[in-house]
Structure 1
Amino acid sequence: MGGDPANAEPVTEARGPALHPPALKPGDRVRVVAPAYPGDGRLVRGQQILESFGLVVEYGEHVYDQCGYLAGTDADRLADLNAAFRDPGVRCVFGARGGYGTQRVIDGLDVAAARRDPKVFIGFSDLTVLHAKLWRSARLVSLYGPLATWTDTRTGPDSVESMRKALMTTDPIVIARDPAEPSSAVNLPGKGSGVASGPLLGGNLTMIETSVGCGEFPNLDGAIFLFEDTGEAPYSYDRMLTQLRRTGALHRIAGVAIGQFNAAGDGSSGWTAAQAVTDRLTDLGVPVLGGLRIGHGNGQLTVPIGAKATIDTVAGTLTVEPAVR
């Protein structure tokens, strides 16, 4: 059931300016696809929210399929993904659910279709590798935000409005440090003013780290490196950041924006996640801003991946240019 390497596009890195898809407007079609785990009953709520924006929601053929823990075979999941990017009537490709599985099909993504007809892509977690592939191979700016399997107790009104603005307006996105977030304890000014700018790249730390050496791994030179994770102990953050450091991936970053440390434990066995991350990042000498409600925790907000961003550790803000035009 594995993907066919012969159908994979050769590893290339796109050059030139970023591609910004058109902002969505009422009446636009949104295709929900499941490149990882299958959709479930929470899609009903996700559809209701998108329809409240005036959008028309449809589903990939295999969203509810199940093959083990995956939403159908690799071939079927990839077919749904490519069909969405190839359909000129679809203006947004929306991830149904995370979990695991996107890496199994990512090499077969029709990058040429994404370049030819830029459209909004939104999702997070396991779908981090799709954001990275779209940026590296098509220079397409995408949105790191909630999945269509929507849970109101985790992603409430603030999350809904953040997603709507990111999808349908050209307003800059500003996210303020939340002192209640465990990652807010990581706040490093670096060697200068505490301000840094560059394209915002990254996503889920586990997926970034496991993409090292693969065709979707982004060049982080000059970037604001964004990461978040869930269910990882403090030593896991240490291990993953150490791996990225050893590969040289973090040697020339401009700064770091840190999302949510969800379910990372209380540090009773040693360091907290914030302490472990601080230890791994301090000597890089770049500004680091934690406490951002991006990721798997409550109140998740939506941010562009690939757009120019600025972090200010004194003001406690991440400001990102819009993904859409």
Structure 2
Amino acid sequence: MNNCDSHQTVQSPRLRPGDRVRIVSPASPPSREGVARGVELLTSWGLRVELGEHVFDQWGYMAGRDEDRVLDLNSAFGDAGVRAVIATRGGKGAYRIVDDLDIDALRRDPKPLVGFSDITHLHLALWARCGLASLHGPFANWSDEWSGPASAEALRRALMTTDPVIIHRDTGQAGAAVTVEGTATGVLVGGNLDAIRTEAGAGLPSLEGAILFLEHQRGTGLGEVDRALTQLTRTGVLEGLCGVALGQFLGFDQDAGDPTLGGWGIADVLRDRLTRLGVPVLGGLPAGHGPHPPTIPLGTQATIDTAEGTLTVQPAVA
């Protein structure tokens, strides 16, 4: 068993009915209907929901200008009454504001940030600069068809209880066949592969002693996944990993390789790039850009067990 947990985690207080939460748009703009449904859902848990001043702004493909998006984030981070910050969307733009986050405010008053995809840039920054645990979870731009009751309950429990989160391997996922047997325990870090690759050499925290969680959105081919994993390897950031937990790699067929690409599929690329790390790898976790997403703490101790097919993560809140 690999046990490499050497990181200090900062947990936020769990949410209770009556607590204030702030919805912000650090990346691309949401729909008003989706945010209204998100407010309704959070309010049903007894939370008091506020909207950042620039939630519905639009500047090009982003939710307002950089200075306005980071202003909303930092306003929420610095408000002692706000107990959690929830992003409306991923998309594009969070990478432009990571250097301007008010980390001192979060050191004084930790609170969880919720989101995924482009929000991975922010999760990585918060972990690197103050060890803050955050939540890879659904957006406040809520869709009942896309997220559904199970996703809602998973988010509620991750914010309002101290229960660990257990994710089971789904053999129907495209990366499920990628396994390097073993168990590993370390701090779970990661999220969207493209965001992690972008932060390499800039804001990527040390991954020594960590379990790296990876997922990938639709719209790119095998070569792009290969490039991203190769870049991470060449920068040396994967050295010292304890293990790898693979979420969804959407847009790739589970079984069939591409005859125009030598018969390779996504499992072949992942296996070729990751097995050489010499650490346990658990593929097939149903977490990422697919429907009905779970909520997964980042920055807390986690264990992968390939025999059981499970990722078990300690809570981001205390």
Name the TM-score, length of structure 2 as normaliser: 0.93
Displacement of 1:285 in angstroms is: 1.3
Which one-letter code corresponds to 1:302 in the other structure?
T
Which one-letter code corresponds to 2:14 in the other structure?
A
Displacement of 1:16 in angstroms is: 7.0
Structure 1: distance between partners of 2:45 and 2:64: 30
* Compared CA separation, residues 158 and 82, structure 1 to 2 (3 A): same
- C-alpha contact 1:235 1:273 (8 A) present in aligned 2: no
Displacement of 1:115 in angstroms is: 0.6
Q: Of 210, 214, 219, which aligns to 1:223? A: 210
Q: Of 120, 133, 151, which aligns to 2:125? A: 133
Q: 275-284 or 307-316: which moved more?
A: 275-284
- 2:18 aligns with 27
Say whether residues 1:108 and 2:100 are aligned partners.
yes
- 1:46 aligns with 38
Structure 1: distance between partners of 2:139 and 2:251: 19
Displacement of 1:36 in angstroms is: 0.7
Q: Map of 1:1-325 to 2, 5 A cutoff?
A: 17-40=8-31, 41-189=33-181, 194-214=182-202, 216-231=203-218, 232-264=220-252, 267-268=257-258, 269-270=260-261, 271-325=264-318
Deviations 1:232-264 (A, max 9, x none): 322211110111001111121000001111223
Deviations 1:285-316 (A, max 9, x none): 11101111211012211111110000000000
- C-alpha contact 1:230 1:264 (8 A) present in aligned 2: no
Structure 2: distance between partners of 1:223 and 1:17: 12
RMSD: 1.3
SS of the equivalent of 1:199 reads strand
* Compared CA separation, residues 47 and 112, structure 1 to 2 (3 A): same
Structure 2: distance between partners of 1:275 and 1:16: 32
Deviating beyond 3 angstroms after TM superposition, the runs of 4 or more aligned structure 1 residues are 264-267
Structure 1: distance between partners of 2:316 and 2:208: 20
- C-alpha contact 1:174 1:320 (8 A) present in aligned 2: yes
- C-alpha contact 1:234 1:267 (8 A) present in aligned 2: no
Structure 2: distance between partners of 1:299 and 1:315: 22
Unmatched runs of 5 consecutive residues or more in structure 1: 1-14
Structure 2: distance between partners of 1:204 and 1:106: 16
Deviations 1:101-143 (A, max 9, x none): 0111110000000110001111110010110111111111011
Displacement of 1:152 in angstroms is: 2.0
Unmatched runs of 5 consecutive residues or more in structure 2: 1-5
Displacement of 1:39 in angstroms is: 2.0
- C-alpha contact 2:201 2:235 (8 A) present in aligned 1: no
Structure 2: distance between partners of 1:160 and 1:254: 31
Structure 1: distance between partners of 2:7 and 2:285: 29
Which one-letter code corresponds to 1:229 in the other structure?
H
Deviations 1:90-111 (A, max 9, x none): 0000011110001111100000
Which one-letter code corresponds to 1:246 in the other structure?
R
- C-alpha contact 2:7 2:209 (8 A) present in aligned 1: no
Displacement of 1:228 in angstroms is: 0.3
Deviations 1:155-211 (A, max 9, x none): 12221111111111001111110112112121211xxxx000100001100000011
Structure 2: distance between partners of 1:109 and 1:313: 37
SS of the equivalent of 2:105 reads helix
Structure 2: distance between partners of 1:59 and 1:317: 36
Structure 2: distance between partners of 1:237 and 1:213: 18
Structure 1: distance between partners of 2:51 and 2:101: 18
Displacement of 1:153 in angstroms is: 2.2
Identical-pair percentage: 52
Structure 1: distance between partners of 2:154 and 2:265: 29
- C-alpha contact 2:98 2:125 (8 A) present in aligned 1: yes
Q: 145-154 or 117-126: which moved more?
A: 145-154
